[in-house]
Amino acid sequence: MNTITATRAEYSVVACAEAWRDAGEILASPMGTVPSIGARLAKLTFSPDLLLTDGEALLMGDVPALGAPSGVTEGWLPYRQHLALVASGRRHVMMGASQLDRYGNQNISCIGDWDRPKRQLLGVRGAPVNTLNNPTSYWVPRHSTRVFVEKVDMVSGVGYDRAAAAGPSATRYHRIPEVISDLGVFDFETPDRTMRLRSLHPGVTVGQVQEATGFALTIPDDVPYTRAPTAEELRLIRDVIDPKGLREREVPSA
């Protein structure tokens, strides 16, 4: 274990990689720099059957450095087939979120009232289909009360409360395994399916997390630290996957 030299960004990478541990032959769809590094790390270590794309339409047979072209193509995944794969559930996407609430409802569409929003964002995109058909986790590089809110301004990705209200057709494949931020790891393993603090990144306190969250989290009596990267994982992150250090731009050292 290397608990001294690993940066906050590298702990975040490992936390993202763990979301795909032993996933088998499914498609990883990471959105963001740190999740992309995490998916590559998982592929090179404990999830060798994980499928990765070049971000467009090709399945990669190798694991190139972030930003580098793939040298081995093992399949073609055009948009139509990608949608079919989503509907079949053989995919675990890690999306971003402009807002998240205690039940895991996600907003990437607009800030403010729908009729007259203060800010127009990406739009709903594929978030509803993602959340109702395949596991959907979230990555938040800057944990704050602006993102972790009491109520999202618009629901893009469906949370546990809204899925339950919609009934069995919505809950059958609905699952939000993890929310990972620059402060820690969170899940919904509570009786009422509200967000729980699962681990803290080293150097972060429970008080800091709660202060940066706009709703009351479920906090266990003993909150562990996020798993540290091994020496081999640090080598892969730094020398093989992200030699340009792009991870540190997304999550600067605290």
Torsion sign over Cα 112, 118, 123, 127: negative
Burial 142-178 (b: 16+ CB within 10 A, else e): ebeeebbbeebbbbbbbbbbbbeeeeeebeeebbbbb
> Within 10 A of 129 (CB to CB), how many other CB atoms are there?
17
Q: What is the CATH number of domain 8-250?
A: 3.40.1080.10
Assign 85 a pLDDT band (cuts: 50, 70, 90): confident
Mean pLDDT value of segment 243-247: 97
The residues pairing with 136 across neighbouring beta strands, listed in sequence order, are 93
- pLDDT value at residue 205: 97
Q: Is the pLDDT of residue 3 over 50?
A: no
Per-residue pLDDT of 208-234, as tens digits, reads 999 999 999 999 999 999 999 999 999
Element (H, E) at 81: helix 79-88
Per-residue pLDDT of 142-154, as tens digits, reads 999 999 999 999 9
Per-residue pLDDT of 162-208, as tens digits, reads 999 999 999 999 999 999 999 999 999 999 999 999 999 999 999 99
- pLDDT value at residue 55: 84
Residue 113's identity, in one-letter code, is D
Percent of the chain with pLDDT over 70: 98
Instruction: Decide which of 88 and 234 is more confident.
Output: 234
- Find all residues with CB under 8 Å of 209, minimum gap 6, and list them: 143, 183, 184, 197, 200, 217
Mean pLDDT value of segment 38-65: 95
Q: Is the pLDDT of residue 238 over 80?
A: yes
Mean pLDDT value of segment 234-245: 98
- pLDDT value at residue 1: 40
Per-residue pLDDT of 104-113, as tens digits, reads 999 999 999 8
Strands 110-111 and 119-120: antiparallel
Assign 254 a pLDDT band (cuts: 50, 70, 90): low
Q: Is the pLDDT of residue 2 over 50?
A: no
* Residue whose C-alpha is closest to residue 94's, from 12, 6, 196: 12
Residues 237 and 14: their CA atoms lie apart, in Å, by 9
Q: Is the pLDDT of residue 87 over 60?
A: yes
Per-residue pLDDT of 4-48, as tens digits, reads 589 999 999 999 999 999 999 999 999 999 999 999 999 999 999
